[in-house]
Structure 1
Amino acid sequence: MNIFQETKLWLVEHLLLAKDALHIYVGLILFFGVALVFRWRIGGWKPWAVVLVAALAGEAWDIVDTARAGIPQLPWENLKDIWNTLFWPIAITALARWTRVFEREGSGDRF
């Protein structure tokens, strides 16, 4: 098992999270983290795109590891992982872009 898989298992075990929940947390941390570090608007496409690339790369890595271990592929599980990682970043981007939920009071500015 490689360091990527070992890290995921360690996090699941020590944070008492389900694997699905880990995808949700990683997606949100990455989404808000890159927005904060690079000062990108959360209603813009860049934070969401970073999460998309990370989710696809992580699942590609999982597919390769699964194939190397001789374990049968479960494509729906990979799609579920991508969906879990992307759902809240998509929802937050849509809310920031098309509603006033993230609007600063009195200024009309959006995050």
Structure 2
Amino acid sequence: MNTSILYEWRSAVLQSAHLSHDAWLIYTGLLVYLLAALIHQRQLKSNYAIWSVVIVALAVELFGARHDIFDKGYWRIGASLRDIVNMVLLPLILWLSVKYRVWKG
């Protein structure tokens, strides 16, 4: 089956940036969080920022699940859960530390 244009674009970016798939997910999650926090008024404490990361992580994994099902015939649920955790973990740690004032200034 033909791979989609988005999947080919992602593969090209990973090869040109010399990033692993896990590093790509971590950086993407952090970038989505920082952009959403920049747009929202409450900055890093924004609930919208963390929820936007969760929604993007689920959307990326649904896209990946579709690719797995069409190419392999089954969905790798363990790999999908690992990818969701990779994308959400660093923004979640940052959000919790700001929300509960770990760094008092």
Asked whether the two chains share a fold, i.e. TM above 0.5, the reply is yes
Find the aligned partners of 1:36 and 1:76 in 2 and give their Cα distance.
32
**Per-residue deviation, residues 64-95 of structure 1 (Å, max 9, x unmatched):** 12112234321111001000000011000100
Say if 2:32 is the partner of 1:47.
Answer: no
**Greater helix proportion:** 2
**What is the aligned partner in structure 2 of residue 96 from structure 1?**
98
Aligned-partner residue type, residue 18 of structure 1: S
Q: Which runs of 5+ in 2 are unaligned?
A: none
Partner Cα distance (1:54, 1:30) in 2: 8
Give the direction of change, closer, same or farther, for the CA distance of 1:60–1:95 in structure 2 (3 Å limit).
same
Q: Which amino acid aligns with 1:68?
A: F
TM-score, normalised to structure 1's length? 0.84
Point out the structure with max Rg over C-alpha. Answer: 1
For structure 1, the residue ranges without an aligned partner over 5 or more in a row are: 106-111
Distance 1:40 1:26 in 2: 21
Q: Secondary structure at the match of 1:17?
A: coil
More displaced stretch, 52-61 vs 1-10: 1-10
Query: RMSD in angstroms over aligned alpha carbons?
Result: 1.5
SS in 2 for 1:42: helix
Counterpart-to-counterpart distance in 2, 1:67 and 1:47: 30
Counterpart amino acid of 2:51?
A
* Aligned partners of 1:55 and 1:85 also within 8 Å: yes
TM-score normalized by structure 2? 0.89
Instruction: Tell me the distance in 2 between the aligned counterparts of 1:16 and 1:6.
Output: 15
